[in-house]
Amino acid sequence: MTMKKKKITIALDGFSSTGKSTMAKWLAGQVGYAYVDTGAMYRAVALFCIENQLIDNGVVDEQALQERLADIRITFRPNKEGRSDTYLNGRNVEREIRGMEVSAVVSTVAAIGFVRRDMVRQQQAMGRNKGIVMDGRDIGTVVFPDAEMKVFVTASAEVRAQRRYDELRAKGDTTTTLEEVLQNVTERDRLDTTREESPLRQAPDAVVLDNSHMTIDEQNQWLLNLYKEKTSNR
Ligand code: DC
């Protein structure tokens, strides 16, 4: 008799532009799990701040943001290609949240305690029934400390900047330089690892994946093998 496997929770954390999202999405598709990009949620809050003049010269008006937090509704809906797009109050913001304007301020917004608590609460609700792949910075440490499978993804800053630069070019950005992208990546690493509120940290039970010199195919296989190992006795 074949028994239906019990679903697990999969947490992927790590530095920015490591290709976490691509891997996480792929794995979710392979194993039929839901996928949640938590970075997109913080990016949507950052966009809300920009659009509502709640951020001035990189400084967030925290009181005003706290008062308006309940007005921010973030949802995910599949697009025609089957990928999930981020919606802010019913508007598709997938493209806008990936631009440099949002990237420049998102780490500051993501460092605010009440923002994190609100996002974490929503993320925990999304993963209540397991069968989820979630990627971010604090998934294995704060959101789902009991996740059965935890991966900590890393790659050199130069490799990550080049990937992000190629991505921006492919999306039609012809002005941002590689140097600027590298600066943004390094600065975000610093902010993400040194902030007081749930800094980016490897969970003690996470498996490290350095994909600096791996192809997408190699990392996908590595991830799928780990998933098989984690679910073999279930
Ligand atoms: O993964 P990303 O680059 O799209 O994330 C955008 C920012 O959001 C990044 O600077 C760190 C922050 N973030 C976070 O603090 N916690 C998460 N779970 C996900 C992202």
pLDDT digits (tens, 9 = 90+) for 59-99: 999 999 999 999 999 999 989 988 889 999 999 999 999 98
Is residue 48 situated within a structural domain? yes
Contact 14, 154 (CB under 8 A): yes
What is the domain count for the chain? 1
Give, using CA atoms, the residue closest to atom 15 of ligand 1: 110
Q: Given ligand 1 and candidates 13, 17, 18, 38, which is best to mutate, with the most ligand atoms within 8 Å of its CB?
A: 38
Is residue 143 situated within a structural domain? yes
Domain with 135 in it: what CATH number? Answer: 3.40.50.300
Quote the mean pLDDT of the chain: 93
Percent of the chain with pLDDT over 90: 84
Q: How far apart are CA 185 and CA 231, in angstroms?
A: 34
With a Cβ cut-off of 6 Å, ligand 1 is lined by: 16, 38-39, 42-43, 106-107, 110, 136-138, 188, 192
Is residue 185 situated within a structural domain? yes
Is residue 234 situated within a structural domain? no
Ligand 1 geometric centre to CA of 31 (Å): 24
Q: Pick the closest to residue 202 from 166, 131, 152 (CA basis).
A: 152
Q: Pick the closest to residue 216 from 159, 150, 175 (CA basis).
A: 159
Is residue 166 situated within a structural domain? yes
Is residue 216 situated within a structural domain? yes
Q: Which domain holds residue 81?
A: 9-227
Would the pTM count as exceeding 0.85?
Answer: yes
Rounded mean pLDDT of 6-11?
Answer: 96
**Confidence check: pLDDT of 38 > 60:** yes
Ligand 1 geometric centre to CA of 198 (Å): 11
The pLDDT tens digits for 127-139 are 999 999 999 999 9
Ligand 1 geometric centre to CA of 233 (Å): 33
Is residue 111 situated within a structural domain? yes
Q: How far apart are CA 229 and CA 234, in angstroms?
A: 10
